[in-house]
Homo-oligomer: A and B are copies of this chain.
Amino acid sequence: MSENKIPYKIYLNEEEMPKAWYNLRADMKNKPAPLLNPGTGQPLTAEEMSGIFCEELVAQELDNDTKFFEIPDEIREFYKMYRPSPVVRAYCLEKALGTPAKIYYKFEGNNTSGSHKLNSAIAQAYYAKKQGLKGVTTETGAGQWGTALSMACAYLGLDCKVYMVKVSYEQKPFRREVMRTYGASVTPSPSNTTNVGRKILEEFPDTTGSLGCAISEAVEVAVSNEGYRYVLGSVLNQVLLHQSVIGLETKTALDKYGIKPDIIIGCAGGGSNLGGLIAPFMGEKLRGEADYRIIAVEPASCPSFTRGTYAYDFCDTGMICPLAKMYTLGSSFIPSANHAGGLRFHGMSTVLSQLYHDGLMEATSVEQTSVFEAAEQFARTEGILPAPESSHAIRVAIDEALKCKETGEEKTIVFGLTGTGYFDLVAYQQFNDGKMTDYIPTDEEIAASVAKLPQVPGQE
């Protein structure tokens, strides 16, 4: 092996880690549409937001102009416990595929939360602490975000109240126990601890809960308890800002070795990982300094980009949150059996929606069984058991590498490996047993939920 060979893992030094988050919105000519107050149909003001969110986070949410936000020292210290994360050259996967393509992945799974969610969890918890709050509330479905938030809160000595969809609470006891080990209180939702929970339980005593209901409970607890605010792990502009640390590290690592990607691939649920990974690359593209093919990968069962409508919609199924302009399947759309819990969101980040609308990135959708085939091949060759969400990106990275095999092109492919699948083994078991099924919603199903989009002034 030559001395100048690119290593298996490119690690930055701690001093090379980003000192500021990059706000992609500052470089966007067409800014993302503002959040609207669902009551008035008017853009949400900082004041309206500050009852629910921390003040500095509200400022980050609304700021489309400041290009860099300094990362506070305390957050950088926390980042150093699990960052910088490696950019890995997938030598073994390339060999197995027999492709001339060069494949790299940014691996965000080497922390106990098991995903990139920790990058924003510590930031949101930090600003809550700085504002003198007692604690934060949130909802969690599969549990990755709840785990990340409980870790951040444990570190800062902040109370953390997690409302976990009841069915997940019962079927995913391990995630629940990780959160409890980090000192979070985890309540199955709907619960008797809130008005909205009690009301739902009265009406549907046997319900197993929903993310929409859990959000409603978490928000109610935040606004009705002195010293609490609500936090959210995806979709929001502030979350994409924090997640830019993924892309900034990736770019620095690649630049160190003079590597220029041709294709950048990320899975997309609410968009937090994809938005973070592509941020500095999309910035170059927006400024006309470089060009990249950027591909968002979503599940065929929940295809917001590829089959949704670009319109204002509720972010939650409970219809209590602000309206966001995004590619959406309609907030009443219920994705059927799909194990990539993190990709089951009906909508998409407003930033990414605008970029997609402007033709600056592509999107594609893949079916579950083919995703797990890619996951298995990746696990066996690269030694990491990937999260089902991340495996959507693996699927497309492999497909692009196989195209290069046909054409002989030596393209450089970079994808985001957002997390590990250690808590997703029920899905792997279905796959191993040959019992996994695929589901693609019909046009009629999507049309039915899109027909229920809210009426917004000025929206046709």
Contact = CB atoms under 8 A, between A and B. Distances in A.
Given A177-B432, A181-B380, 18 more contacts: A3-B15, A7-B13, A78-B383, A81-B382, A81-B383, A112-B379, A112-B385, A112-B420, A112-B422, A114-B422, A155-B381, A155-B383, A173-B425, A174-B422, A174-B425, A177-B425, A177-B428, A181-B385
Contacts of A180: 428-429, 432
Contacts of A15: 3
B432 A181 contact: yes
Interface in A154-168: 154-155
A110 B110 contact: yes
A126 to B, nearest CB: 14
Contacts of A112: 379, 383-385, 420, 422
Contact of A111 (B174, B183, B383): B383
A182 interface: yes
Contacts of A183: 380
A257 interface: no
Contacts of A379: 112, 154, 181-182
A424 to B, nearest CB: 9
A154 B380 contact: yes
Given A7-B13, A80-B7, A383 B429 contact: no
A439 interface: no
A382 B420 CA distance: 19
A77 B376 CA distance: 20
Contacts of A7: 13-14, 80
Interface in A1-27: 3, 7-9, 11, 13-15
A429 B9 contact: no
A423 interface: yes
9 contacts: A92-B155, A111-B384, A177-B428, A177-B432, A181-B428, A181-B431, A181-B432, A182-B379, A182-B380
A181 B383 contact: no
Stoichiometry, copies per complex: 2
A80 B432 contact: no
Nearest to A73: B1
A151 interface: yes
Main secondary structure of the interface of A (DSSP, over half): helix
A383 to B, nearest CB: 5
Nearest to A175: B425
A419 to B, nearest CB: 12
Contact of A82 (B13, B14, B383): B383
A178 interface: yes
A15 B4 CA distance: 11
Interface string A63-104: 000000000000001101110000000011000000000000
The 8 closest A-B pairs by CB, nearest first: A174-B425, A8-B80, A154-B380, A177-B425, A112-B385, A180-B432, A422-B422, A177-B429
Contacts of A92: 81, 155
Most buried by B among A3, A13, A77, A178: A178
B422 A385 contact: no
A396 B423 CA distance: 30
A180 B178 CA distance: 25
